[in-house]
Amino acid sequence: MLEIDNLTHVYGPGSPNEHHAIDGLKLSVAAGELLCVVGPSGCGKSTLLRSIAGLIKPTGGEIRVDGKLVRQTPDNLAVVFQDYSRSLFPWMSVADNVALPLRRRGMDKRQRREAAQEALESVGLAEAGRKYPFQLSGGMQQRVAIARALAYRPSLMLMDEPFGSVDAQTREDLEDLVLKVRGHHRMTIVLITHDIDESVYVGDRVVVLSKAPAHVVGDLKVDLPAPRDQITTREHPDFVRLRGEVGRLVRGVDAPAATA
């Protein structure tokens, strides 16, 4: 579904502010897989995502989606941006924000409205459709952005720290929502998070990136029993082991084999 080969990106090459964000990153994601990407702050995660979405042209390497080289935005893609509040259109009601991309789906007005309402309900914002983004809290805005991506039913969904601004309870609900939607609609999802527990809980696989310039330092398969459950999954011995492994990879510490 998604193949990234030797991806390299340098911001401002040749300038005094030259910054190597990504260096020789290799990654492939199977169709229907939910891949979590974790890595230290500023390592290049958002850069990776924007490259996959065709929003920036990486300075080196290749990205293929469904075998097709990414030059522009791939078809059937939805992105939940890290800057969720800036990605909502302030002049439109919440419902219109969610419904707008559905124009690309050839739906008529009524279908769009219904699909938008359904998506808003799924993120717990059934009553917010007529409001404007500025009338919502940060966490609610973030859920609108998620609803907009879900309503679109993309085949590839890129999510950049999508649950950063919501409370713990809502966060768990949204994690389960993503798992459920993925199950029903067979999407491929790349989800960036800085929450190690979250990456293990929702991911089929967790990829750990290094400090800048980013490359893959760890790639772990998450073999936890399905369906996942917020309580029992997190108690599972494999969960505990995996979160430890991911944590050590993120911090760049070796396994505690040598400790006495």
Partner 1 sequence: MTAETTPARAGQPNQGRPSPSRARRGKLLRHAVGVAAFLLVWELAARAGLLPWLPAASASLARVAELAFDPAFAGDLLSTLTAAAAGLPLAVLVAVPIGLLLGTVPAVEETTRAIVEFLRPIPSVALIPLALFFFQPEINAKVALIVYAASWPILINTLYGVRDVDPVATETLRSFGFGSAAVIWRVSLPSAAPFIYTGIRLAASITLILAISVEYFVGGSGGIGAFLIQASTGIGADAMLDVIATLVWAGLVGLAVNVLLLRAERRLFRWRHA
Residues that bind ligand ATP (CB under 6 A): 11-12, 19, 21, 39, 41-47, 82, 212
N-terminal to C-terminal alpha carbon distance within the chain: 45
Answer yes or no whether residue 134 interacts with partner 1 by CB under 8 A: yes
> Is residue 228 within 8 Å of 202, Cβ to Cβ?
yes
CB of 20 to ligand ATP, least distance (A): 9
Q: How far is the CB of 42 from partner 1 (least distance, A)?
A: 18
Q: How far apart are CA 227 and CA 3, in angstroms?
A: 27
Residue 11 site contact among partner 1, ligand ATP, Mg ion, none (CB < 5 to 8 Å, cut-off depends on kind): ligand ATP
| The only residue of 132, 139, 218, 247 in contact with partner 1, by rule CB under 8 A | 132
Find the binder of Mg ion among 8, 46, 117, 155 (CB under 5 A): 46
Q: Per rule CB under 5 A, is residue 82 in the interface with Mg ion?
A: yes
The site partner of 216 among partner 1, ligand ATP, Mg ion, none (C-beta below 5 to 8 Å per kind) is: none
Q: Which residue in 73, 111, 230, 232 binds partner 1 (CB under 8 A)?
A: 73
SS (H, E, C) the chain: CEEEEEEEEEECCCCCCCEEEEEEEEEEECCCCEEEEECCCCCCHHHHHHHHCCCCCCCEEEEEECCEECCCCCCCEEEECCCHHHHCCCCCCHHHHHHHHHHHHCCCHHHHHHHHHHHHHHCCCCCCCCCCHHHCCHHHHHHHHHHHHHHCCCCEEEEECCCCCCCHHHHHHHHHHHHHHHHHHCCEEEEECCCHHHHHHHCCEEEEECCCCECEEEEEECCCCCCCCCCHHHHCHHHHHHHHHHHHHHHCCCCCCCCC
Q: Give the nearest distance from C-beta 242 to partner 1 in angstroms.
A: 31
Q: Of the two residues 9 and 205, which places its CB atom closer to partner 1 in the complex?
A: 9
> What's the min distance (Å) between Cβ of 40 and partner 1?
23
Footprint on residues 80-99 left by partner 1 (CB under 8 A) = 81, 83, 86-87, 89-92
Q: Which is nearer to partner 1, 98 or 206 (CB)?
A: 98
Of the pair 206, 212, the CB lying nearest ligand ATP is at: 212
Q: Which residue sits closest to Mg ion, CB atoms considered?
A: 46
- Interstrand relation of 34-38 and 205-209 (parallel, antiparallel or unpaired): parallel
Among 51-59, 175-183, 211-219, 243-251, the segment contacting partner 1 (CB under 8 A): 51-59
Report d(CA 182, CA 178) in Å as an integer: 6
Interacting residues with partner 1 (CB under 8 A): 50, 53-55, 73, 75-79, 81, 83, 86-87, 89-92, 100-101, 104, 132-137, 152
Interacting residues with Mg ion (CB under 5 A): 45-46, 82
